[in-house]
């Protein structure tokens, strides 16, 4: 079996979660390999998030529209006093550049604690393994579905009733009655003078079909005086809102790791904002084990295993002599320096204390 060179971190899947993690981990100084069936695939979905869930390192250039107080209609109208951001998907993807990452095109066949195996038999060994392959759109999983049209702001305007955006408008002017499975209108500015109007089934197993949502959207728009032409750009949404199992010793990240918000199905902001915490775990582990002679990547370790957990948290290959083992272990003392302190200032977390990812605190 062919082995690619070992790295600190291998990421399986380069959707928003995998790409964010690979980008941030490389920026923190880790050697990173990432694999995807189509690594250069352009993202087309309109991603949005609450402003306070986005990490401070994300520049404003990746935001397509700012909404200070979106509206919601449950049994009556509400103003949500929480800023909302619609992202410019193309700019987001470009910002999460992979220049410092070894990118491999391939289909992942197996993921285990020592690395990733591709369909063609190549093995990608790594100290840390993250599975960010998303979750297949399988009807056995709970899903969110939506059918949307992207229209000029002026055309969408009657659907908004004077509000900047509808985060969720649950009114029944979509032709449904109290006994029907409900769906809501999501209507937000998408930037460049366009608004996305989307009929959404929040969650279902099975979720409402896209044909039914399209029909409901047209009934609703007609009822509000929105005139469409049939030439609008369409957005079709279907994604799983529950995670999938990962192998022991493998971190599931993004949708794969069940990072979806339970009330919205959103996962992109969580992946962006937790990428640093995972990177820091890898950095800390690398520093802790940097001088330990037994911490070689899996393909180069002798067979047999033991844990030397008192000095580092890796599992190492067995050596015959316990004196060899203890002297090697003594050499892997805990990190003298906080890994955050070794990062370039621009990439350091801004929280001040990083107790979530290591045990040091910072000024
Ligand atoms: C139209 C639309 C609008 C959405 N709007 C929002 C929103 O506003 N906010 C929000 O938070 N979420 C939104 N979502 C959901 C969002 O897409 C998911 O939460 C997000 O994509 C999850 O990211 P991920 O990286 O975890 O997984 P994915 O995006 O599913 O990425 C997985 C990656 O793994 C790769 N892969 C899979 N299997 C293999 C394999 N065997 N080998 C190699 N590579 C593999 C795939 O090619 C893919 O690139 C929307 C979804 C859609 C479709």
Residue 151 confidence (pLDDT): 98
| pLDDT above 80: residue 87 | yes
Residue 289 confidence (pLDDT): 58
Residue 16 confidence (pLDDT): 98
In this prediction, residues 60-84 reach a mean pLDDT of 97
Provide the β-strand partners of residue 240. Answer: 143
Residues lining ligand 1, Cβ inside 6 A: 12-18, 35-38, 45-49, 107-108, 132-134, 235, 237, 239, 254-256, 266-269
In this prediction, residues 357-363 reach a mean pLDDT of 35
**Which atom of ligand 1 lies closest to the CA of 268?**
11
Least confident of 166-180, 212-226, 319-333: 319-333
Q: Which residue among 44, 106, 267, 275 is best mutated to probe the pocket of ligand 1, counting the most ligand atoms within 8 A of its Cβ?
A: 267
CB atoms under 10 Å from CB of 296, counted, come to 17
What structural domains and CATH numbers belong to the chain?
Answer: 1-39+98-135+243-290+335-354 (3.50.50.60), 46-90+137-240 (3.90.660)
- The residue nearest atom 48 of ligand 1, judged by CA position, is 15
Residue 77 confidence (pLDDT): 97
**Which atom of ligand 1 lies closest to the CA of 270?**
11
User: What sign does the dihedral 156-162-168-173 (CA atoms) show?
Assistant: negative
**Which atom of ligand 1 lies closest to the CA of 266?**
11
Residues 297-312 pLDDT 10s: 333 333 333 333 333 3
d(CA 201, CA 176): 13
Ligand 1 centroid–CA 36 distance in Å is 12
Tokens read off for 231: 């030439």
Single out the residue of 254, 6, 260, 295 nearest to residue 131, CA to CA.
254
- The residue nearest atom 10 of ligand 1, judged by CA position, is 266
Residues 39-68 pLDDT 10s: 999 999 999 999 999 999 999 999 999 999
Ligand 1 centroid–CA 340 distance in Å is 29
Helix (H) or strand (E) holding 95: helix 89-95
**Which atom of ligand 1 lies closest to the CA of 148?**
1
| pLDDT above 60: residue 257 | yes
Single out the residue of 19, 91, 93, 85 nearest to residue 52, CA to CA.
85
pTM: 0.82
Query: 209 CB contacts (<8 Å, ≥6 apart)?
Result: 145
| pLDDT above 50: residue 331 | no
| pLDDT above 60: residue 340 | no
Residue 201 confidence (pLDDT): 97
Ligand 1 centroid–CA 351 distance in Å is 28
Ligand 1 centroid–CA 86 distance in Å is 16
Report the percentage of the chain scoring pLDDT > 70: 78
In this prediction, residues 187-207 reach a mean pLDDT of 96
Ligand 1 centroid–CA 267 distance in Å is 9
Q: Residue 4: which pLDDT band, with cuts at 50, 70 and 90?
A: confident
- The residue nearest atom 49 of ligand 1, judged by CA position, is 15
Q: Residue 280: which pLDDT band, with cuts at 50, 70 and 90?
A: confident
| pLDDT above 50: residue 211 | yes
Residue 304 confidence (pLDDT): 35
| pLDDT above 60: residue 293 | no
Residue 361 confidence (pLDDT): 36
| pLDDT above 80: residue 116 | yes
Ligand 1 centroid–CA 15 distance in Å is 5
Q: Which residue among 239, 252, 264 is best mutated to probe the pocket of ligand 1, counting the most ligand atoms within 8 A of its Cβ?
A: 239
Number of helices (H), then strands (E), in the chain: 6, 19
């Amino acid at each position: 079996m062919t082995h690619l060179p070992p790295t600190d971190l291998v990421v399986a899947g380069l959707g928003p979660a995998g790409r964010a993690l690979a980008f941030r981990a490389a920026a923190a100084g880790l050697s990173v390999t990432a694999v995807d069936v189509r690594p250069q695939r352009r993202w087309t979905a309109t991603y949005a998030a609450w402003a306070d869930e986005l990490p401070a390192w994300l520049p404003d250039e990746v935001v397509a529209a700012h909404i200070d107080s979106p509206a919601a209609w449950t049994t009556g109208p509400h103003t949500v006093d929480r800023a909302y951001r619609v992202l410019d998907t193309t700019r987001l993807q470009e910002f999460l550049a992979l220049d410092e990452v070894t990118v491999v095109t391939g289909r992942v066949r197996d993921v285990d604690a020592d690395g990733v195996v591709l369909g063609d038999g190549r093995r990608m060994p790594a100290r840390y393994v993250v599975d960010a392959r998303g979750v297949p759109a399988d009807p056995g999983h709970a899903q969110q579905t939506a059918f949307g049209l992207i229209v000029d702001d002026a055309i969408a305007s009657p659907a908004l009733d004077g509000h900047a955006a509808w985060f969720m408008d649950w009114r029944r002017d979509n032709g449904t009655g109290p006994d029907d499975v409900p769906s809501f209108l999501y209507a937000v500015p998408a930037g460049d003078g366009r608004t996305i109007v989307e009929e959404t089934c929040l969650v279902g197993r099975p979720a409402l079909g896209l044909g039914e949502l399209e029909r409901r959207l047209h009934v609703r728009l007609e009822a509000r005086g929105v005139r469409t032409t049939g030439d609008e750009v369409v957005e079709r949404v279907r994604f799983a809102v529950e995670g999938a199992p990962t192998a022991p010793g493998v971190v599931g990240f993004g949708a794969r790791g069940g990072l979806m918000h339970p009330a919205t199905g959103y996962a992109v902001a969580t992946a962006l904002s937790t990428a640093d915490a995972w990177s820091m775990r890898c950095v800390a582990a690398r520093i802790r084990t940097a001088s330990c002679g037994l911490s070689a990547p899996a393909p180069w370790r002798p067979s047999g295993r033991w844990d030397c957990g008192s000095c580092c948290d890796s599992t190492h290959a067995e050596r015959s002599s316990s004196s060899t083992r203890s002297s090697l272990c003594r050499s892997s003392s805990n990190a003298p320096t906080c890994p955050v302190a070794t990062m370039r200032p621009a990439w350091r977390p801004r929280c001040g204390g990083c107790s979530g990812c290591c045990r040091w605190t910072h000024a």
